[in-house]
Structure 1
């Protein structure tokens, strides 16, 4: 949470200066937005080495502040600072495809996208927005829970043929306490693409509803390859991907 404070302080601190905008249709705006996202971890070697995992639907909330500037009725630049819960859940399978446990990757980020937005005109209008994002890891872990003793059956793993006792094991962590746990990457750059509608409630207040997609090209771990002795498969490069519905309320500082 400490990493979120400078961004939130900046967004709040600049608000008193926004009221100086005077040109009609041009000027700054502020807002708040919340979202629910379907989150994924895309794995480069999914088909070759991950036959012991079955992805389950995973959803996470996001929400934060918006600060933007309208250059005219159609073109805007928008900066956001948002808390975002991401990751993925899996069933763990033995060699007979029977569920013998679960894996959960739980990642919490401060996401800071800078977006160019193209809007239509009218009381209700469409918009499309795109831009880069940098996400800072606030906390995160990857945990395996085995319901029973399991014998590893994967020639790609160094622990092939060994038994993992029933229990809960940390595979990755933001700040690992020992050398046996992989470290998670603290920064995740990505690209954001979204589109949706805006609706004016008054001359200065408007609602937004957007579908937004996010793709990160940075590995969630510091190490390129993860092959933990308390895991069933080896991973080579894993990336955050998400898509979801975002709604927001915004106030536009324009000439009365």
Structure 2
């Protein structure tokens, strides 16, 4: 699909702003509008996205990257993902916003796991609910790659939810797992529940099984420690706790803080 001209991009931005109320899918609306705004609010004390070169790491289909490009004045937005999803961005923008091409300031593409994502030419890196899916053996290298991709003083916004040891940390909402079931049941029982779910097709079962087995089990504390070792300073940190009470047996096996912390959000600066 062709890239829009600059004048057409102005019209695309208008279509984006007019399109929010017309998108009925709450997940898509959140990715296109709510998440970019949350990130922009965190970045506001440092100038926000306006005129900045931005990387969306783990962009999926690129909806949030598109929202940053169309709605927040970024000079350039790159969305990268290891899954073969990014090519879907153009189709989403066409279907829901009537755009015939990607905006001139947006590029979405697939990368190999652990591949470099930039060489000091970026101002901002954002990542929403992605880092928990990075293989543990690649994690330090990926955080180091994000550090290298940023210019000195560049900013990184990293969010993880749900954290693995929290009530919904299995990411298996389709099975109704919302109360630490993945910790209180044997792994074989969890896998049998996925395989035995009649409402899931074979492809989705395979996807869910792989996703569950490859979650890296990061805690908020470990993430903060690892980003520090990668060369980042924490400018702002938010941890959100569940109101649920974990089963007594789990509190004997796991740290209560890990069981109760369901989300961590970090704003970082490259030193």
TM range (shorter): under 0.3
Structure number with greater Rg is 1
Higher relative contact order (CA 8 A, sep 6+): 1
- TM-score normalised to structure 2 length: 0.25
Larger proportion of strand: 1
